[in-house]
């Protein structure tokens, strides 16, 4: 459940200022270099720990900042303006720390939380496998009981931060064919025997996410590293998915807003046929369309934030699906329209619009694809819009 109170307003404004300075000093100047040289920026992620950003939503008593969910999104928005891949990687390490802070045993917290908060170790959450993505219940990585613990075998794929992470919340099957009823989750130590890191993927525009996979070869997990017992892993994975869908929607809004600012600035300066191009209706209407879509995406995202902060994860399912579907579908054409308004200049890497376009593509897959969001909304139709006979007569 998300923390609602958060940091007091004046302290939060100070933090946002510090984040802006950090971003402009430690991230923005390097985004292009990271991408050109295919670098996963481990050190820059670690430095975010100095500002407390790896513990944004974690209780201050455990070393976190104690931000509310909405405040966390504002920080992620600032970072996403220059690099959504960086922000996404950061929040994925944060999520592992938050998971341990909320539900981990004292032993697990003592063992891993300080390193996750400082960035000495990065975190991942691993559901996806080479043969199972959207259909999460079809995972086949198997945990079998062993003396005082479990033996784990199988492969995870498409995992954020897997290029370097070593504190991993992994979802596994304990009973072949049992689907959701058999799923458990474990804390995997990526420095342990039986953990084999695989070569990370070359994803154009997204090297800063450090996406890759790993293999578990008879990896031994002691009983204390079991986070969700068999049968409870599926629900545990879904418990925070609405939050993830909502921050992905918010990141898309941030990327579009940053691009729209550049495009409007450019269109006010650049002239054609004797006047600034913003005065050509054909151009200004395109950007007005982007602004209109952006406002709608922001409004849907705001509704999801409110539902999440009210703390009832069931009532957040639909608002989060609406926000993610709308914002991710909005982002690519909106970013392309911003680039178009800047003419050929919009293609220059320094404006980052190309980077944001590839990040927006990624947003269509992570934490549930656009089709899975649509499916979620479709399933809700009878409950949301079905008129009972009495209601139908009255209308
Ligand atoms: C950069 C990146 C980072 C990622 N990070 C993580 C991570 O940290 N942890 C993790 O566990 N996973 C992660 N993923 C994986 C992501 O969650 C999966 O890509 C996603 O769940 C979809 O799975 P898939 O790619 O196997 O596609 P599939 O499930 O094979 O789907 C293929 C296509 O079919 C569509 N489809 C599937 N089922 C239906 C249906 N019922 N109705 C209509 N259409 C359907 C999908 O929407 C998709 O378009 C990441 C992916 C990327 C690209």
Question: CA torsion sign, 374 to 323 to 256 to 71?
Answer: negative
pLDDT of 3 > 70? The answer is: no
* pTM (predicted TM-score): 0.96
Q: Is the CB of 96 under 6 A from ligand 1?
A: no
In ligand 1, the atom with minimum distance to the C-alpha of 124 is 8
**Which listed CATH number (3.90.1150.10, 3.90.1010.10, 1.10.540.10, 3.40.50.2300) goes with 9-121?**
1.10.540.10
How far apart CA 204 and CA 191 sit, in angstroms, is 28
Q: What is the pLDDT of residue 390?
A: 59
* Displacement of CA 379 from its chain's centroid (Å): 24
Contacts of 94 (CB under 8 A, 6+ apart): 53, 54, 55, 56, 57, 58, 123
Residue 195 burial (CB < 10 Å; 0-12/13-18/19+)? middle
Domain ranges of the chain: 9-121, 124-235, 240-382
pLDDT of 394 > 60? The answer is: no
Mutation probe of ligand 1 site: the residue of 134, 321, 361, 373 with most atoms within 8 A of C-beta = 134
Kindly give the distance from the C-alpha atom of residue 380 to the centroid of ligand 1, in angstroms, as a whole number.
Answer: 21
How far apart CA 72 and CA 92 sit, in angstroms, is 13
Kindly give the distance from the C-alpha atom of residue 28 to the centroid of ligand 1, in angstroms, as a whole number.
Answer: 29
Q: Is the CB of 127 under 6 A from ligand 1?
A: yes
Residue spans of beta strands (DSSP E) within 8-113: none
Kindly give the distance from the C-alpha atom of residue 129 to the centroid of ligand 1, in angstroms, as a whole number.
Answer: 10
**Which CATH superfamily groups domain 240-382?**
Butyryl-CoA Dehydrogenase, subunit A, domain 3 (1.20.140.10)
Count CB-CB contacts under 10 A for residue 321: 27
Kindly give the distance from the C-alpha atom of residue 341 to the centroid of ligand 1, in angstroms, as a whole number.
Answer: 32
How far apart CA 278 and CA 113 sit, in angstroms, is 51
12-48 confidence digits (pLDDT tens): 999 999 999 999 999 999 999 999 999 999 999 999 9
Q: Is the CB of 375 under 6 A from ligand 1?
A: yes
Give the strand pairing for 212-222 and 167-173: unpaired
Kindly give the distance from the C-alpha atom of residue 387 to the centroid of ligand 1, in angstroms, as a whole number.
Answer: 34
In ligand 1, the atom with minimum distance to the C-alpha of 171 is 11
Kindly give the distance from the C-alpha atom of residue 135 to the centroid of ligand 1, in angstroms, as a whole number.
Answer: 8
Residue 61 burial (CB < 10 Å; 0-12/13-18/19+)? exposed
Q: What number does CATH give the domain 124-235?
A: 2.40.110.10
pLDDT of 2 > 80? The answer is: no
C-beta of residue 196 within 8 angstroms of C-beta of residue 214: yes
How far apart CA 309 and CA 69 sit, in angstroms, is 7
The token duo for 168 is 């991993």
Mutation probe of ligand 1 site: the residue of 214, 359, 369, 375 with most atoms within 8 A of C-beta = 369
Mean pLDDT of 337-355: 97
Kindly give the distance from the C-alpha atom of residue 237 to the centroid of ligand 1, in angstroms, as a whole number.
Answer: 15
Residue 1: pLDDT band with limits 50, 70, 90: very low
47-102 confidence digits (pLDDT tens): 999 999 999 999 999 999 999 999 999 999 999 999 999 999 999 999 999 999 99
Mean pLDDT of 223-227: 96
Q: What is the pLDDT of residue 312?
A: 76
Kindly give the distance from the C-alpha atom of residue 366 to the centroid of ligand 1, in angstroms, as a whole number.
Answer: 7
Mean pLDDT of 131-138: 97
Mean confidence (pLDDT) of the chain: 95
Kindly give the distance from the C-alpha atom of residue 2 to the centroid of ligand 1, in angstroms, as a whole number.
Answer: 25
Residue with the larger pLDDT of the pair 395 and 265: 265
Q: Is the CB of 158 under 6 A from ligand 1?
A: yes
Beta bridge partners of 132: 129
In ligand 1, the atom with minimum distance to the C-alpha of 132 is 26
Which residue's CA is the nearest one to ligand 1's atom 15?
A: 158
pLDDT of 114 > 80? The answer is: yes
């Amino acid at each position: 459940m998300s923390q609602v109170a958060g940091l007091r307003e004046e302290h939060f404004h100070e933090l946002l200022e510090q984040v802006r300075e950090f971003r402009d000093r430690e991230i923005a100047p390097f985004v292009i270099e990271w991408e050109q040289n295919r670098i996963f920026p481990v050190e820059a992620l670690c430095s975010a720990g100095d500002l407390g950003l790896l513990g944004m939503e974690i209780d201050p008593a455990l070393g976190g900042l104690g931000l509310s969910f909405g405040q966390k999104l504002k920080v992620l928005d600032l970072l996403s303006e220059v690099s959504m891949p960086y922000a996404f990687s950061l929040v994925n390490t944060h999520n592992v720390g938050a998971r341990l802070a909320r539900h981990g045993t004292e032993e697990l917290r003592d063992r891993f939380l300080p390193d996750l908060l400082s960035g000495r170790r990065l975190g991942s959450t691993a559901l996806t496998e080479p043969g199972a993505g959207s259909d999460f219940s079809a995972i086949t990585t198997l945990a079998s009981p062993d003396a005082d613990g479990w033996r784990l075998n199988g492969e995870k794929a498409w995992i954020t931060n897997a290029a370097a992470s070593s504190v991993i919340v992994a979802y596994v099957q304990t009973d072949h064919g049992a689907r959701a009823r058999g799923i458990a989750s474990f804390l995997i130590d990526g420095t342990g025997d039986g953990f084999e890191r695989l070569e990370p993927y070359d994803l154009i525009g997204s090297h800063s996410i450090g996406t890759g996979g790993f293999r578990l070869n008879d990896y031994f997990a002691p009983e204390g590293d079991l986070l969700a017992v068999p049968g409870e892993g599926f629900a545990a994975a879904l418990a925070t998915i609405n939050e993830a869908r909502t921050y992905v929607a918010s990141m898309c809004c941030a990327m579009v807003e940053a691009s729209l600012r550049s495009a409007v600035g450019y269109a006010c300066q650049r002239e054609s046929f004797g006047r600034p191009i913003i005065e050509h209706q054909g151009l200004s209407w395109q950007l007005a369309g982007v602004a209109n879509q952006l406002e709608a995406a922001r409004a849907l995202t705001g509704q999801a934030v409110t539902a999440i902060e009210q703390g009832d994860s069931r009532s957040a399912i639909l608002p989060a699906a609406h926000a993610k579907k709308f914002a991710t579908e909005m982002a690519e054409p909106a970013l392309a329209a911003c680039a178009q308004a800047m003419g050929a200049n919009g293609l220059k890497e320094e404006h980052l619009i190309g980077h944001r376009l590839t990040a927006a593509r990624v947003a269509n897959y992570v934490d549930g694809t656009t089709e899975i969001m649509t499916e979620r909304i479709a399933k809700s139709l009878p409950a949301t819009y079905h008129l009972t006979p009495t209601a139908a007569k009255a209308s």
